[in-house]
Structure 1
């Protein structure tokens, strides 16, 4: 008659057989996509080919070991090693990586990363218990249990070392191996106040001279205002004149005295007056877009996919005109695929009537006028002039990054003729510890065509993305669920250009 110990060991073995078989078969069924996902990993990008096959073979081989009584203990140790490795991998991804891929199969792919981490920890505990119980069934129990514990400890150390070595060998680490030198400004900002927003789903929708406006990704039909003193928050519901759209990513943008609710996947743009909850349909089915900037009361600048040239394009949308669209497909110069390599952020400097387009993957930003004529083509201080991306086209026509791209510029904002740009690259002589809990902001003068200097913004290391908004002499920063107000020092405000800028 089988003991409870024996049944537990068998149950654990069957569980891992089911887990590894299901995961490996799911990967095999969509192997092309699995390889792409592995290649996108910041840890496995440099050995993606080997890892994609190695994981499948190992998982299936462990299943075979677990089936037979003679090899079951080896299968349990192997399961322990795999699950510890997967756990360390997820921990590193969550805490040290800017890029979070998905490289699991089947039902595990539906889990969030933190849920997946908890699941993996539970499987490590389960395999540990099964190994100890199986070892304890034979003679010389104490000696064998001690040996088993030491062996598991050794396997844990080996798996941890393996993940760390792969991470440091990864192509992704190139972002920390640059040779440009930053000029750090002396106390350019002073923190004055923080406001707890309770949740981390807010984004900057714009500002006026006395208020900062926020949208919320989870409640897209709400407009939140905060006075610049960060004393009081008010929320107003937005009521569109029609809801017969399948909204996917509705966003709000302020350009006083009006505000706009839009969704480029529908596509629709609503227009309303600040203080009034009702918005009317201003543009419907005139243009699909990924980004939208309201230039004035009658026109918008947008970015979109231009199918004839298979690339991103900028354009002007004037909803009230007879011919509302003007596309400028030649503005963003492609070097590879035309979509990922031209990706970036658009900003409008209302004080100087300039549009600024900051590329994500190369050291370039464009300055354009109202008609999308290029006024300046400038470089950031780093040396990445060509996007370091590798795009793969799947058999169904979809395109994905074949490995983690080197993101040069993370986020930015433009105001008073200055570009404030969060860089993703560490310069020479910079302390890596400063990068763990800070974001570096590089400041450029658009009018004077030069780099002014840099400063750090404090943030928790688990926060990957911050947002910036400038009002008067204040810099507002969204970090997680907090909004922080900083005051600019004179060494920055003396570069502010308020009014029509000098032409670069």
Structure 2
């Protein structure tokens, strides 16, 4: 082969490689950039107080009781870590289950003061006990399997499950009546199917400790919805992003009923919490004029007021080193994020996070 031909082939190879790299970078840029919306960043909506090491990255948020934060642990399911956010004092709690005859696979602890709930939707069973006593008795068994659950009052739990008839993801309630019998209610009209009713409706269940409202935030589209404590739809609302239809490529594996993603989906809403009238959503999608370097330094959180149907503002929740927050939560005074093996604690500006006061359901 002549030298000239070798040079031409080499040049073509280099050009092809560079083209692939440029197209990849452009596609990544497209995923993270959307010039159709502009965020507002007010001064100091949250102020950093401290980072507290909890030694392990297996903790998750179980809930608040006043200024006391409680963390559950995935690798020690019956262990709680109590943190006084004002004093930084910690306390390790061992939960006790009465009549424990189950083999647990996915145990989660959630607080709804003055109660705490221990739940495993794969058994399925739910235990309930009083905060401070830390002994729980069986509250429900064998009524419904669920993938996620949030207690919304002393006798009602908000769940995500699979409808046995339609085989699609459905939101529902498990409720204890006055006769102490459990009942199941599924609202099949809440989640709106776009493709398969499973992947395309996947999202985040949220609930407010300050009101009787529940929420659901879709992962792959710019929408969330609000329901009352009986799971009646209050409203649907769009986020500032513009992706209305989930960008998914789904295929069967070997013509079976098992499905998978053919390509990574575009995640519009990554994490979410609810606090009174506010829904806070973590997004990795950059808006107009935003510097992409911020995605390597902090998480972007957008704040919405669902009562007003408005986007309020955004703020940065900063990384620790190269680690980003995997979960966050808030009460009336503090916002916390779990980052690696640390709890990152901020004080909130109460004027900017103001919500409408309401009376919660009476706890029995």
What is the TM-score of this pair, normalised by structure 1? 0.64
1:290–1:303 Cα contact (<8 Å) kept: yes
Distance 1:405 1:172 in 2: 15
Aligned residue in 1 for 2:330: 470
User: After superposition, where does 1:257-268 map in structure 2 within 5 Å?
Assistant: 257-268=114-125
Distance 2:307 2:58 in 1: 34
Please tell me whether residue 480 in structure 1 is matched to residue 345 in structure 2: no
Aligned residue in 2 for 1:431: 291
Change (3 A) 1:162 1:227: farther
Change (3 A) 1:159 1:355: same
Q: Secondary structure at the match of 2:165?
A: helix
Q: Following TM superposition, where does structure 1 have runs of at least 4 consecutive aligned residues deviating by more than 6 angstroms?
A: 157-163
> How far is the alpha carbon of 1:447 from its aligned partner?
1.3
Change (3 A) 1:361 1:281: same
Distance 1:210 1:181 in 2: 34
Q: Secondary structure at the match of 2:143?
A: coil
Distance 1:403 1:202 in 2: 30
Distance 1:235 1:490 in 2: 30
Distance 2:294 2:352 in 1: 22
Aligned residue in 2 for 1:369: 228
Normalized per residue, the structure richer in strand is 2
Q: Secondary structure at the match of 1:409?
A: coil
My pick for the range that moved more, 482-491 or 317-326, is 317-326
Aligned residue in 2 for 1:132: none
1:436–1:461 Cα contact (<8 Å) kept: no
Please tell me whether residue 412 in structure 1 is matched to residue 272 in structure 2: yes
Change (3 A) 1:246 1:392: farther
2:298–2:324 Cα contact (<8 Å) kept: no
Largest Rg, 1 or 2 = 1
Normalized per residue, the structure richer in helix is 1
Distance 1:467 1:231 in 2: 19
Give the unaligned 5+ runs of structure 1.
1-156
Please tell me whether residue 307 in structure 1 is matched to residue 164 in structure 2: yes
Aligned residue in 1 for 2:137: 280
2:319–2:325 Cα contact (<8 Å) kept: no
1:239–1:277 Cα contact (<8 Å) kept: yes
Please tell me whether residue 489 in structure 1 is matched to residue 346 in structure 2: no
1:172–1:406 Cα contact (<8 Å) kept: no
Give the unaligned 5+ runs of structure 2.
1-13
Q: Secondary structure at the match of 1:487?
A: strand
Of structures 1 and 2, the one with the larger relative CO (CA 8 A, separation 6+) is: 2
Distance 1:313 1:466 in 2: 25
Q: Secondary structure at the match of 2:50?
A: strand
Aligned residue in 2 for 1:87: none
Aligned residue in 2 for 1:189: 46
Distance 1:304 1:240 in 2: 25
User: After superposition, where does 1:222-241 map in structure 2 within 5 Å?
Assistant: 222-241=79-98
Q: 1:324 aligns with which of 177, 183, 197?
A: 183
Please tell me whether residue 199 in structure 1 is matched to residue 59 in structure 2: no
Change (3 A) 1:339 1:164: same
> How far is the alpha carbon of 1:271 from its aligned partner?
0.8
Change (3 A) 1:164 1:222: farther
1:238–1:278 Cα contact (<8 Å) kept: yes
1:289–1:305 Cα contact (<8 Å) kept: yes
Tell me the matched-pair count: 344
Residues 248-294 of structure 1: CA deviation (Å, up to 9, x unaligned): 21110001111011111111111111122321111111111111111
Aligned residue in 1 for 2:315: 455
> How far is the alpha carbon of 1:191 from its aligned partner?
0.6
User: After superposition, where does 1:153-232 map in structure 2 within 5 Å?
Assistant: 164-165=21-22, 167-168=24-25, 170=27, 173-232=30-89
1:411–1:467 Cα contact (<8 Å) kept: yes
1:193–1:230 Cα contact (<8 Å) kept: no
Q: 1:378 aligns with which of 220, 232, 237?
A: 237
Q: Secondary structure at the match of 2:270?
A: strand
1:205–1:214 Cα contact (<8 Å) kept: yes
Q: Secondary structure at the match of 2:295?
A: helix
Q: Secondary structure at the match of 1:309?
A: coil
Distance 1:492 1:161 in 2: 47
Distance 1:363 1:430 in 2: 19
